[in-house]
Structure 1
Amino acid sequence: MKPWILGLTGGIGSGKTAAANHFARLGIHVVDADQAARWVVEPGRPALQQIVEHFGPGVLHEGALNRAALRERIFLDPNERIWLERLLHPLIRAEVAAHLADAESPYAILVSPLLVESGQYRQVDRVLVVDVPEALQVERTVGRDLTSEEQVRAILKVQASREERLRHADDVLLNDHDLAWLQAEVERLHRFYLTLRGGRQ
């Protein structure tokens, strides 16, 4: 039987990666949309060629995509960002679908920080949001990425609001304790998910 798909999301510093890693340890097939976004622009893939034709060789560094240079270009001009999204989003969707199709576990997980914003939630059968109070998000991210509180708050502004994410959630994992608590919650959800057909009761 084809596995059903769980969409796993959460804001920056929420602990979604730690949650996804624990699901993977339990034998669940996990596909990361961020990794798929990197795969589609690898050297030799057609997307990289199109990006270079559009933006010029300045977005390359030693034959690979120079993300910082590209980011600068698309932040300066919103139309360029739209062009890039139109090129990449269908390719990322196809890449994700191909990797999910390889799943042999009872359900598979698509991890995406932008599950709600990108509309990827329409590709999944059920949505799990790893939720954390904003103050804790900021504290964890500043500690982890050695970045400033202002930068973290700027990232939070472009991500979907907590309310928006929670509105799309079928399940919420409140991650305001330690790692052992998070892992116990993942195991509890996993046992529940094994009882579902197509992501539903």
Structure 2
Amino acid sequence: MTPIIVGLTGGIGSGKTTVANFFKDLGVPVYIADTEAKALMNRSKIIKRKLVQLFGDQAYIDASLNKPFIASQIFNNKALLQQMNAIVHPKVAKHFANWVKKQESDYVISEAAIIFENGSYKKYDVIITVVAPEDVRLKRVVKRDDSSSEKVKAIMKNQWSDKQKTELSDFVITNVNLEGTRHQVGKIHAKILNSATNH
């Protein structure tokens, strides 16, 4: 039986990883797309070759992805970002499909930041969006990434608004305090398991 595929998303600083970990605690297999994408960018010879063609030799240092350089290149360059995603995303999608086949669970979660922005949201059976007030998200990211609020705001501007995302989501988790978030995760978990039984 194919498991239900759940997409877990949310804007920067909303707390997707925290929510993903709560689902993991309940025994749900979770695929972190960003982590897997970075691993593939370091591992796949095809991706490496194409990224060097796109960004030049500085894309890698000692065979490892030069993350600060790539980030600086795509920061305000949408076309370059799209070209990079066109190289990486299909490989990640293939890797995810193979991963799903190995899971023995009623449902699995793919945690990914831009499923609405890149149109991949249509591929999921269920979508959960994590939201939090913008000022809370801003504080979290500035603290976490040691980043400037201007930089974080620029990233936010490139992402869909919470309103746009929630209108296309099956479930919305408001992540302001941990206990409340954990409680919401538990309720959604029960609902998805219930629909899996009737799947």
Q: Please give the alpha-carbon distance, in whole angstroms, between the structure 1 residues aligned to 2:72 and 2:8.
A: 29
Instruction: State the match for 2:162 in structure 1.
Output: 162
Distance 1:69 1:121 in 2: 29
How far 1:172 moved relative to its partner?
A: 0.8
**1:120: how far off?**
1.9
Which residue number corresponds to residue 190 of structure 1?
Answer: 189
Measure how far apart 1:66 and its partner are.
0.9
Secondary structure of 1:9's aligned partner: strand
Task: String of CA shifts for 1:57-79, please: whole Å, max 9, x gaps.
Answer: 22210111212223334457654
- Aligned-residue identity in percent: 32
Stretches of structure 2 lacking an aligned partner (at least 5 in a row): none
Which stretch shifts more, 83-92 or 8-17?
83-92
Residue number in structure 1 paired with 2:4: 4
Residues 9 and 112 of structure 1 are in contact (CA less than 8 Å); yes or no, is this contact kept in structure 2? Answer: yes
* 8 Å contact kept, 2:42–2:63: no
**Corresponding residue pairs, total:** 199
Q: How big is the shift at 1:127? A: 0.5
- Change in CA separation of 1:198 and 1:50 when aligned onto 2, cut-off 3 Å: farther
The aligned counterpart of 1:121 is 121
- Matched with 1:152 is 152
SS in 2 for 1:41: helix
**CA deviation after TM superposition for structure 1 residue 83, in Å:** 2.9
Map residues 1-201 of structure 1 onto 2, 5 A cutoff: 1-75=1-75, 78-176=78-176, 178-197=177-196
**Range with greater deviation from structure 2 (69-78 or 98-107):** 69-78
Unaligned runs of 5+ in 1: none
Within 2, Cα distance between the matches of 1:55 and 1:47? Answer: 12
Q: Give the whole-Å Cα distance in 2 for the aligned partners of 1:199 and 1:82.
A: 39
Corresponding residue SS for 1:40:
helix
Q: Distance in 2 between matches of 1:25 and 1:106?
A: 15
Greater helix content: 2
Question: Per-residue deviation at 1:41?
Answer: 1.1
CA contact (8 A) 2:129 2:169 kept: yes
**Whole-angstrom distance in 2 between the partners of 1:93 and 1:185:** 28
Q: Distance in 1 between matches of 2:174 and 2:79?
A: 37
